[in-house]
Amino acid sequence: MELKKLSEHIWYMPYESERDRPNLGYVKGKNWSLAIDAGHSAAHTKEFYALLEKENLPLPYLTVFTHWHWDHTFGMHAANGLSIANEKTNSHLAEWKNKIEKNGPAEFFALHESIRKEYSENKEVVVKLADIVYSGEMSLDLGDCTVKVIQSEAPHTDDSTLVYIENDKTLFLGDAACKDFTIGKKDPALCKKLADSIRNLNPQTCVEGHWVPVETDDTLNDLLGGL
């Protein structure tokens, strides 16, 4: 696995299907750096950091969660610095933290084979809540690089956060454009709301959680196709 450079300020660790690992984003400004999603487990996070160190990039000062799902967040206890999530994301994390600490990880392991592969050899499951909780929208200045963190309605979950790197006209969506996690379908109204959010930002490039970076029209066509 290699770290890929996407633009002047952006790198990412590519997704992997077998263990359902998403793309992990990294944004470097003149003053500090930020990660987009924390990874599926401590092992995933540590592999990401090893790639950053190989490129002489500083570890992220902040990590922003795109949504609560384990493959994007359960590595946070092994991450550097502070984490940011919207209120709904933090609520979902609190629910799973309580379940696992009270009853053990059996229910979590039963969700999908990819989870059992990620946590093979008795790896510990640890859920960490966000350090910083926001609602609506926030803007971060990394030093000549502005990042907008935006809560958005979307078909995949009820807690999606979009991360837009203004200088590079690049939008990280996590899994926001995917089907509903529980029923396997896309709600047309939520797809249209997410499409409006994307158009309002007007990015050139979109990075979804489990796909290669593409032009924005490709993401919109996939999001709205068949509705």
Closest CA to 198 of 186, 208, 183: 208
Residue 183 has pLDDT above 90, yes or no: no
Q: Chain centroid to CA 226: how far?
A: 26
pLDDT digits (tens, 9 = 90+) for 91-130: 999 999 999 999 999 999 999 999 999 999 999 999 999 9
Q: How confident is the model at residue 227 (pLDDT cuts 50, 70, 90)?
A: low
pLDDT digits (tens, 9 = 90+) for 22-43: 999 999 999 999 999 999 999 9
Measured at the CA of 19, the angle between CA 13 and CA 51, to 5 degrees, comes to 25
Tell me what pLDDT residue 226 has.
62
Tell me what pLDDT residue 58 has.
97
Tell me what pLDDT residue 157 has.
95
The model carries a pTM of 0.96
Give DSSP secondary structure letters for 59-72: PPSEEE-SS--HHH
Q: Are 169 and 207 in contact (CB under 8 A)?
A: no
